[in-house]
Each structure stands twice: as structure tokens, then as C-alpha cells.
Amino acid sequence: MMLDVWGIPNCQTVKKARAALEARGVDYRFHDFKKTPPAVAMLRDWLRDAPLETLLNRRGTTWRQLSDAERAQAEHTDGALELLAAKPSLIKRPVVVEEGRVRSVGFDAARFDTLG
């Protein structure tokens, strides 16, 4: 089965994750958040497997640049999903999806050894 890896190509965490998959010969499709941001419907599907607090990266530069109103919007699921779709840099990365189900968010070497 093919994995779908969502992220930003120049992100160091995404680079580590892709290298880990490639080192094991795992086939995957890479989706660049900047070129193809996930739709709200897809993000809502991801919530079946990953809580919003896992998907929403509150530690990055993009979060720090948000207005108070945007941060308040992120406190409610619908508002947060709209914000993530509009500003995909707010999504913790990479997000690894297999058959429509989130298998991993972020990079953990031990976890990546079980993918694919």
C-alpha cells in the first residue's frame, strides 16, 4: 500500500521523515502543503485518527504570527480547520496517511520504522 506524506519540502522534520522512508525502500507520494493545501473535509477526516491538538502546531513561526482573532478562531474545531486549510504551515508535519487514515503526525524514528 502506498503512503501519502503531507508536508513542506524544505522542513527539516519532513526531510528526516522522507529520508527514513527512503532508507527502508518505502513507496510514498509526497504532497506539498504549499502547492496543494488539504481541504477542510480532508482535515476533518484526519481528526478521526489525530486530535486537533496534535495536528495544530502552536510552536511554529506561523502560529506566532497569527492575530489574536485568528488564535481565538483556532479554539473551536470548525474555525481551526478553516485556519489550517488557509494556512497549512500551521499543521504539524509530516502527516502520514495510509488508505485515508492518519498513521503518524510529526516525526518519530521508531514510529517510522513501522510504516509501510
Determine the 3-state secondary structure of 4 from DSSP: strand
Contact between residue 14 and residue 102 where contact means Cβ atoms under 8 Å apart: no
Nearest 5°: phi and psi at 28? Answer: -155, 160
How many helices (DSSP H) and strands (DSSP E) are in the chain?
A: 7, 4
11 annotated active-site: yes
Cα distance between residue 68 and residue 46, in whole Å: 26
The catalytic position among 11, 42, 52, 66 is: 11
Determine the 3-state secondary structure of 27 from DSSP: coil
Hey, which residues are catalytic here?
11
